[in-house]
């Protein structure tokens, strides 16, 4: 599950920023945070945001996890660093990373699906993406919309620096 991977990275990064611990993998993300001047206090605040997202998502029991809030993504270099590095951090399946690198930068499959905002699966039914909790090919759309409403209630006041950010999920072939 990619939230666990992301939180583990962030907590290891916090220990490294505080001193005495090795930088976590992927080291390029940690180095990006250092260059940006991320302090331990700032990283603790980012961890809290991800923990809120994880908690709300877990409570609703929907398959696909929400995207990281752009307040977090921007500080981790999600929009800036090499897509392979970002994919590794976010738990993207290798087949989907390759698909993205081959030029498929938008969802381009037929049929209903809900995906984590910004994630591009290699197919509408990619088993790796389903296992990684990034894709739901049989979504209960209203349940996902409820997750988004609750997250907006909890995190709606945080700044959003990325102009492409539309929400926590992308809805494909499921109506308005």
pLDDT tens digits for range 73-126: 989 999 899 999 999 899 999 999 999 999 999 999 999 999 999 999 999 999
Contact 78, 86 (CB under 8 A): yes
Strand, helix or coil at 4?
helix
Q: How many domains does the chain have?
A: 1
Strand, helix or coil at 170?
strand
Q: What is the pLDDT of residues 43-71, one digit of tens each?
A: 999 999 999 999 999 999 999 999 999 88
Query: Which pTM does this prediction carry?
Result: 0.91
Residue 66 structure tokens? 């929400």
Residue 17 has pLDDT above 90, yes or no: yes
Amino acid 137: pLDDT: 97
Residue 62 structure tokens? 């929907």
Instruction: Please tell me which residue, 167 or 159, carries the higher pLDDT value.
Output: 167
Strands (E), the chain: 113-116, 135-136, 169-172
Average the pLDDT over 11-30 and give the result: 95
Domain that holds residue 125: 2-172
If pLDDT is split at 50, 70 and 90, which confidence band does 176 have? low
Contact 151, 53 (CB under 8 A): yes
Instruction: Please tell me which residue, 164 or 111, carries the higher pLDDT value.
Output: 111
Residue 25 structure tokens? 């993998």
Amino acid 164: pLDDT: 64
């Amino acid at each position: 599950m990619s939230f666990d991977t992301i939180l583990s990275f962030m907590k290891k990064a916090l220990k490294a920023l505080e001193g005495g611990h090795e930088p976590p993998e992927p080291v390029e993300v940690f180095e990006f945070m250092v260059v940006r001047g991320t302090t331990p206090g700032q990283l603790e605040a980012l961890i809290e945001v991800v923990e809120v997202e994880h908690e709300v998502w877990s409570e609703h029991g929907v398959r696909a996890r929400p995207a990281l809030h752009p307040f977090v993504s921007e500080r981790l270099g999600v929009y800036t660093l090499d897509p392979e590095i970002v994919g590794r951090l976010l738990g993207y399946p290798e087949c989907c990373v390759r698909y993205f690198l081959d030029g498929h930068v938008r969802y381009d499959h037929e049929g209903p699906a809900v995906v984590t905002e910004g994630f591009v699966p290699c197919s509408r039914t990619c088993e790796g993406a389903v296992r990684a909790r990034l894709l739901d090919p049989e979504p209960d759309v209203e349940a996902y919309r409820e997750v988004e409403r609750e997250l907006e209630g909890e995190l709606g006041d945080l700044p959003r620096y990325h102009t492409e950010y539309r929400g926590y999920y992308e809805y494909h072939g499921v109506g308005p």
